[in-house]
Amino acid sequence: MRRIRVLALCCAVLLILSLSAVQAQVPPPQRGGTIRVGITQEIINLDPHVATAFSSFQVMDLVYESLLRLNAKTLEVEPNLATSWSVSADGLEYTFTLRRDATFHDGTTVDASDVKYTIDRILDPATRSPQASFLEPVREITVINPFSVRIALKRPFAPFLSLLTRPSRGIVPVNFEDKVGDARVRTLGSGPYRLAEFGPGSVRLTRYERYWRRDAQGNRLPHADAVIYRVIPDPATLRAAVRAGEVDLIIGFGVDINAARTLDAVPGLKVMSVADLAYSLLGIQHERPPFNDARVKQALALAIDRAQLIQVVYSGRATAAGPLPPTAAEWRPVAASGLPNYRRDAIRARQLLAQAGHPNGVAIKMLPIPTVPEVVQIAQVLKEQLAPAGFNVEIEQVDFATFLSRWRGSQFDTFVSLNSGEIDPDVHLYRHIHSTGSTNVFKFKDSSVDQLLDQGRGTPDIARRQQIYGQLQRQIAEKVPFLFLAYADLFAVARANVNGFTLSSTRSMWPLAETWLAR
């Protein structure tokens, strides 16, 4: 018995020593330095409630904070500015308790009145916020005390907590616009970094010294002194910049599978990848001829070969896109092979065009977003695929500002772009395809689709929601509000001295707060 005790003690000592050795091998984060991030898309708007571009969110992730957030790794909802919350039995009232140590970059405390002001600002028609349709179910916001706020809804709204996890619903102080002036180029958030310089070619953020969050070891965040976003529109130049050490990190746009493979072999660089929630799409303006005819939209869908597109553009590192992302497994996404109008049939497409009064085919224009390199390539592939089905495609090349203006104004026949994805199906779909959706630039209207979307967001039971979104996925494939193309892998390339960065399916740049540079 004594020998057993001695053996157990020896094992325990060895375990402690081995754990200590492992911990000793993990260097502690180093404070200081500037993280330089290369991006292809210019940054033209930093208003958290108005901006829609990926480049804007890359900055705002570090400047503004929402009540809740998605864990970068697990994608689960977790506390942020709110430390806890409760929901009434009828699902109509959400009460949030706020943390007491969060402050805005002007030093004022984040409190319940700021939460109320933020939601009121988003819902104010004068703001023209694309986020307004997300928060339409809100009936009333009540400040209970400085650190407690109650949000009452008009009806049960299943995805409500998920909606409170993004910087696009970031909390701003009361009288925000009076304090910042032009919110497109000046900021006032509570995030780990504050805006120091805003220019057409770069944005510089500096550490907010009073930021509340600490890392797992208890170190105050953020670790770096500053983050600089440098705009490098040309993908080849962007990749050359990270090779030369002119930037420390590039992510997403400009880093496809071929670039990732090449850069992975370069000494001093490391490549990260994760399944992306974002998806490529072919948008359609439903009120413009010829797409005001359902047969033409169906013909367009039948003319596309997603498998070929994925091989050509993504070298196979993507999944043919249905309406829900494969990463949202809880909602049972239907594979492309199980959806109507997804199997290419150019002969049937020509027949449909003829039935719609276009026996000799139809001429259409296609507007690709210019700041996403793979999108420009997608447009070329689509042009070739659509030709045998009777679509004569003219690709329009415009600058980013013009693209955004025409996108907002629905001034297009078709466009090719990338949409950010979401874990909750309501947040993923509603704003784009509901007839009242704030980003329904497609002018798509269908009462049966609207009904399913409304049922899905008003039903708290997960099993019932799964049934609803199963029906909705097939309805979307049949009605063709726009064409989901592919969910690709997301890649990032970093210098070897970049540590602690987590590449997330959400494309969030908040993990830069936990990133540090070895020196």
Does residue 231 have a pLDDT over 70? yes
Whether residue 188 lies inside any domain: the answer is no
User: Please, which residues have CB within 8 angstroms of residue 83's CB and are 6 or more apart in sequence?
Assistant: 97, 98, 99
Q: What is the pLDDT of residue 14?
A: 46
360, amino acid identity? N
Question: pTM of the full predicted structure?
Answer: 0.81
Q: In the predicted model, what is the mean pLDDT of residues 141-164?
A: 96
Hey, how many other C-beta atoms are within 10 angstroms of the C-beta on 475?
Answer: 18
**Model confidence pLDDT, tens digit, residues 476-499:** 999 999 999 999 999 999 999 999
Q: What is the pLDDT of residue 8?
A: 45
Task: Give the whole-angstrom CA distance, residue 457 versus residue 133.
Answer: 12
Residues 287 and 431 in one domain: yes
Q: In the predicted model, what is the mean pLDDT of residues 75-79?
A: 93
Q: In the predicted model, what is the mean pLDDT of residues 42-62?
A: 93
Residues 319 and 466 in one domain: yes
Task: Give the whole-angstrom CA distance, residue 6 versus residue 17.
Answer: 17
Question: Of 341, 346, 367, 224, which is closest to residue 283 (Cα–Cα)?
Answer: 367
Q: In this structure, what token pair is assigned to residue 111?
A: 């409190």
Domain final residue pick, 138, 173, 208: 173
Residues 166 and 290 in one domain: no
402: three-class secondary structure by DSSP:
helix
Q: What is the pLDDT of residue 24?
A: 42
> What is the band of 25 on the pLDDT scale with cuts at 50, 70, 90?
low
Residues 297 and 162 in one domain: no
Residues 350 and 481 in one domain: yes
Question: Of 418, 409, 471, which is closest to residue 57 (Cα–Cα)?
Answer: 418
Residues 168 and 290 in one domain: no
**Model confidence pLDDT, tens digit, residues 385-421:** 999 999 999 999 999 899 999 999 999 999 999 998 8
Instruction: Give the domain range for residue 425.
Output: 279-488
Whether residue 184 lies inside any domain: the answer is no
Does residue 11 have a pLDDT over 60? no
Domain final residue pick, 152, 173, 194: 173
**Model confidence pLDDT, tens digit, residues 447-465:** 999 999 999 999 989 999 9
Question: What is the full DSSP assignment across 128-180?
Answer: --TTTTTTTTEEEEEEEETTEEEEEESS--TTHHHHTTSGGG----TTHHHHH
Residues 323 and 451 in one domain: yes
Q: Which residue has the higher pLDDT, 172 or 5?
A: 172
Q: Which residue has the higher pLDDT, 60 or 13?
A: 60
Percent of the chain past pLDDT 90, that is, above it, reads: 84
Whether residue 517 lies inside any domain: the answer is no
Whether residue 270 lies inside any domain: the answer is no
User: Please, which residues have CB within 8 angstroms of residue 267's CB and are 6 or more apart in sequence?
Assistant: none
User: Over the chain, what is the mean pLDDT?
Assistant: 93
Q: What is the pLDDT of residue 503?
A: 95
Q: What is the pLDDT of residue 371?
A: 84
Q: What is the pLDDT of residue 134?
A: 84
Q: Which residues pair with 487 in a beta bridge?
A: 319
Query: The CATH number of the domain where 87 resides is what?
Result: 3.90.76.10
Domain final residue pick, 145, 173, 201: 173
Q: What is the pLDDT of residue 77?
A: 94
Whether residue 286 lies inside any domain: the answer is yes
Question: Of 133, 130, 140, which is closest to residue 52 (Cα–Cα)?
Answer: 130
Q: Using alpha carbons, list the distances in angstroms from residue 313 to 277, 366, 492.
A: 17, 17, 17
Does residue 282 have a pLDDT over 70? yes
Does residue 5 have a pLDDT over 60? no
Lowest-confidence segment of 58-62, 115-119, 342-346, 368-372 by average pLDDT: 368-372
Question: Of 205, 260, 199, which is closest to residue 235 (Cα–Cα)?
Answer: 260
Q: What is the pLDDT of residue 66?
A: 98
Q: Using alpha carbons, list the distances in angstroms from residue 469 to 185, 208, 326, 462.
A: 39, 42, 14, 10
**Model confidence pLDDT, tens digit, residues 284-328:** 999 999 999 999 999 999 999 999 999 999 999 999 999 999 988
Question: Of 284, 301, 302, 299, which is closest to residue 355 (Cα–Cα)?
Answer: 299
Whether residue 349 lies inside any domain: the answer is yes
Number of structural domains in the chain: 2
Q: In the predicted model, what is the mean pLDDT of residues 39-65?
A: 94
211: three-class secondary structure by DSSP:
coil
Whether residue 440 lies inside any domain: the answer is yes
Task: Give the whole-angstrom CA distance, residue 390 versus residue 364.
Answer: 10
**Model confidence pLDDT, tens digit, residues 170-196:** 999 999 999 999 999 999 999 999 999
Query: The CATH number of the domain where 413 resides is what?
Result: 3.10.105.10
Residues 341 and 479 in one domain: yes
Q: What is the pLDDT of residue 26?
A: 59
Whether residue 377 lies inside any domain: the answer is yes
Does residue 22 have a pLDDT over 50? no
Question: What is the full DSSP assignment across 272-286?
Answer: EEEE-S-EEEEEE-T
